[in-house]
Amino acid sequence: MPLEHFDVLIVGAGLSGIGAAYHLQSRCPGKTYAILEAREGIGGTWDLFRYPGIRSDSDMYTLGYSFRPWEDAKSLADGPSILSYVRQTAQEAGIDERIRFNHRVVSAEWSTADGRWTVEATRGDTEEAVRVSCTFLLICSGYYRYDEGYTPEFEGTDRFAGRIVHPQHWTDDIDYAGKRVVVIGSGATAATLVPALARSAGHVTMLQRSPGYFVSLPSEDAIARALRRALPARAAYPIVRWKNVLLTMLSFQLSRRRPGMVRSLMQKGVASRLPPGFDIDTHFNPRYDPWDQRVCLVPDGDLFSAICDGRVSVVTDRIDTFTERGLRLVSGEELEADLIVTATGLNLLALGGMRLTVDGRQVDLSQTMGYKGMMLGGVPNMAMTFGYTNASWTLKCDLTCRYVCRLLNHMDARGYRQCTPQNLDPSVTEEPFIDFSSSYVLRSIDKFPKQGSRAPWRLYQNYALDILTLKFGAIEDGTMQFASTLPAVATAEPVAA
Ligand SMILES: Cc1cc2nc3c(=O)[nH]c(=O)nc-3n(C[C@H](O)[C@H](O)[C@H](O)COP(=O)(O)OP(=O)(O)OC[C@H]3O[C@@H](n4cnc5c(N)ncnc54)[C@H](O)[C@@H]3O)c2cc1C
């Protein structure tokens, strides 16, 4: 029996997968496609995470799609609103009808002879193996494991009489009203959870090993609000989007060039929101420079207000052991708790754990190099969406999907059936794919592809530069190698530089 075949197969129905389908439908209307999604619903991250207060930590005018205005009042928006934005996008464009839920893709094998991928998925409901084929594989599987968040090995957890929960596995039955809660961590999740829990908990302690950067921003964007009153949403949205893109780029570039100045500005901002005499140096003075790790946004200063009200305290120390009643710290201090939340991060996972094979040879991701941050050297007809670390994820994913559509249309116009980035320049050296010092990145980066020391193998993490390269740059750049169905076309149209 011949396998069911699609021109494009998208893996994942999160923010990126739905965006990818939208671009494909509108820019390559003749292409057949399907989405294979491991879970039972649309939304990925925004469906999985259910902890109190779950929200974006970048503004929705840039985390939203380029093609669909974000119309909610909140710029730093709650998880359910983001989920309904993604689901509505899918519904209105008829994308939801193309999704096969409960299909976890486990492997994809490329055959040059057949000019196609054979993709195998396991059904979550029946455990049946399903095989389909496609000409182009677009992997939108996010960047972390869904089944398990990261929790370090802590001593004595079995002794603790209360409940221990990782935010990735939060359930509605967790009762924290009036309780003493300790949240371990100082990243975006802790910054979100701590003030949200503090609304009804007895007391919340944010226990951090080391401090991070926090910046308070209004949850509503005043300029967006004013523009929305004066202009239709479709006209106001790109203006606010560009304002936020430029502000984010400016703050990132300034952090890179004048880290001392930015550190001092951020600390002044924090100090102005905390009670006089608060020990900023211990709790809010990071050891690293701004943007060596992601900066946490605090909407309307909610975390700082909760500290001022005495509902939240911050402790900077290391855990010695869990005890029956809570935690003993290396300093000897004891923290009593009824509930301990381990906001200790994610387990990164490249390509949704899929095994890739090219002409019988298994691809070792750690030995590959990312081309334009979206394809892999030596791997034909495959792209992946991977967002920015210093700006909203969707900005890069939108550009990636547009580029893939350009690439597919270019191949159709020239009669090419295969495109493979090949590094032909021996002077390009390898560097880690993500230039971030966060421990969740350092833990797993060796399992990810590398980036190269220069374009098109380098990840510049720069939206303006990526617009030039991905929207307007030459598809035939001398690095992308094409092969054609018709040998005559191959000789008539050599790969151009
Ligand atoms: C709590 C939290 C808050 C965040 N906030 C922000 C923010 O404010 N701004 C920002 O820029 N980024 C943020 N991020 C990063 C965030 O993940 C992205 O912004 C965005 O949601 C990623 O979308 P995605 O579709 O690429 O990946 P995901 O949302 O992870 O979706 C991937 C989808 O692929 C499916 N999938 C994975 N593997 C397979 C497989 N093998 N087979 C089939 N299906 C598969 C998954 O089930 C899932 O549905 C946040 C991340 C977290 C965890």
Q: In the block, which residue shows the tokens 């090419």?
A: 416
Question: Which pLDDT belongs to residue 184?
Answer: 98
Question: Which pLDDT belongs to residue 8?
Answer: 98
Residue 277 DSSP SS3:
coil
Distance CA 277, CA 126 (A): 60
424 has pLDDT over 60: yes
pLDDT tens readout for residues 336-390? 999 999 999 999 999 999 999 999 999 999 999 999 999 999 999 999 999 998 8
Average pLDDT, the chain: 93
pLDDT tens readout for residues 136-183? 999 999 999 999 999 999 999 999 999 999 999 999 999 999 999 999
Task: Quote the ligand 1 centre to 142 CA distance (angstroms).
Answer: 4
Residue 38 DSSP SS3:
coil
Distance CA 115, CA 378 (A): 15
Q: Which atom of ligand 1 is nearest to the CA of 388?
A: 11
Question: Which pLDDT belongs to residue 496?
Answer: 36
Question: Residues, the chain, total?
Answer: 497
Question: 485: pLDDT confidence band, cut at 50, 70 and 90?
Answer: low
Residue 351 DSSP SS3:
helix
299 CB less than 6 Å from ligand 1?
no
490 has pLDDT over 60: no
193 has pLDDT over 50: yes
Residue 320 DSSP SS3:
strand
Distance CA 478, CA 98 (A): 35
Tell the burial category of 250 from Cβ atoms under 10 Å away from its Cβ (0-12, 13-18, 19+): exposed
Determine what percent of the chain falls in helix, strand and coil, rounding each to the nearest 5: 35, 25, 40
Nearest CA to ligand 1 atom 53: 45
Nearest CA to ligand 1 atom 12: 393
Task: Quote the ligand 1 centre to 408 CA distance (angstroms).
Answer: 25
Whether residue 370 contacts residue 178, with contact meaning beta carbons closer than 8 Å, is answered with no
Question: 116: pLDDT confidence band, cut at 50, 70 and 90?
Answer: very high
In this structure, the number of other CB atoms found within 10 A of the CB of residue 75 comes to: 27
Distance CA 169, CA 337 (A): 19
pTM exceeds cut of 0.85: yes
Tell the burial category of 45 from Cβ atoms under 10 Å away from its Cβ (0-12, 13-18, 19+): buried
Q: Which two tokens stand for residue 378?
A: 């030596």
Q: Which atom of ligand 1 is nearest to the CA of 167?
A: 1
Nearest CA to ligand 1 atom 27: 142
Query: Cα–Cα distances in Å, from 163 out to 54, 177, 208, 290, 317?
Result: 20, 14, 19, 34, 21
In this structure, the number of other CB atoms found within 10 A of the CB of residue 478 comes to: 13
Task: Quote the ligand 1 centre to 386 CA distance (angstroms).
Answer: 10
